[in-house]
Amino acid sequence: MDSMHGTALVRRAVAEHRRLVFGLAAAVFVNALVYALVVYPLSERVANVTERERAAEQALAQARAEHDQASGTLTGKSQAAAELTAFYRDVLPQDLAGARRLTYLRLARLARDSNLDYQRATYAPVVDTGSTLTRLQIQLVLSGTYADMRNFIYQLETAPEFVVIDNVRLAEGADDGGSLVVTLDLSTYYRNPTP
């Protein structure tokens, strides 16, 4: 009975305030229509603009990172070129005579300081095609104790001159005193003469 009474009450209120109810219903309809035709499409556009702006910011950040990386690569490349030029100028001998002078005297002195017998050394320049450097191959034969050999190799590797140890061959000496004969294949490099 209460539901019937409530329904009748609503009908009576609508009948008495018909203008107000229709005005409110029209306002609700117009609001829904304005929302559907104006507000919702504009909010979607704003959302799209915001999303595009976020994507543009990400693309800009990525482009800046790529630019910084490219600039770093360019800086690193120019720094490497400068270091290579300094290496050629300050570390490597300038010519064959300089390479022989650098290694011949230094190797003999290192052998003497390490208590080794300097038996012989051979030098042969090797030009590799397509390279701007010539390799001076050195074969050095020394004899002495194992400890003295280790000391010689250590001194050679820590010396400021650029000499590379390519190969080391050990053999027992002819005497029974525990001496060894070591054959070292060494290399140093110098710039090819410009034609």
Q: 102 and 87 in one domain?
A: no
H-state helical runs in 87-189: 96-113, 146-158
The model's pTM: 0.54
The radius of gyration of the chain's CA atoms, rounded to the nearest angstrom, is 45
Beta partners for residue 182, in sequence order: 142, 170
User: How many domains does the structure of the chain reveal?
Assistant: 2
Written as six digits, the tokens of 67 are: 């630019």
What's the CATH code of the domain at 103?
Answer: 3.30.70.60
For 22, 84, 86, 122, 156, the CA distances from 98, given in Å and listed in that order, are: 109, 19, 17, 16, 18
Q: Among 91, 115, 138, which residue terminates a domain?
A: 91
Q: 126 and 79 in one domain?
A: no
- Using DSSP's 3-state secondary structure scheme, residue 151 falls into helix
**Angstrom distance (rounded) from CA 120 to CA 139:** 8
Q: 100 and 84 in one domain?
A: no
Q: 107 and 84 in one domain?
A: no
Handedness of CA 149, 155, 158, 161 (dihedral sign): negative
Domain that holds residue 169: 96-191
pLDDT tens for the chain, 195 residues long, are: 566 676 877 777 778 877 888 888 888 888 888 888 888 888 887 777 778 888 888 888 888 888 778 777 767 777 777 777 777 777 777 777 777 877 788 888 888 999 998 888 888 888 877 778 888 898 999 998 889 999 999 998 888 888 888 999 988 876 666 688 999 999 888 877 655
Q: 102 and 80 in one domain?
A: no
Give residue 46's Cα distance to chain centre.
42
Q: 106 and 72 in one domain?
A: no
Give residue 157's Cα distance to chain centre.
27
Q: Among 59, 91, 123, which residue terminates a domain?
A: 91
Q: 138 and 73 in one domain?
A: no
Give residue 163's Cα distance to chain centre.
27
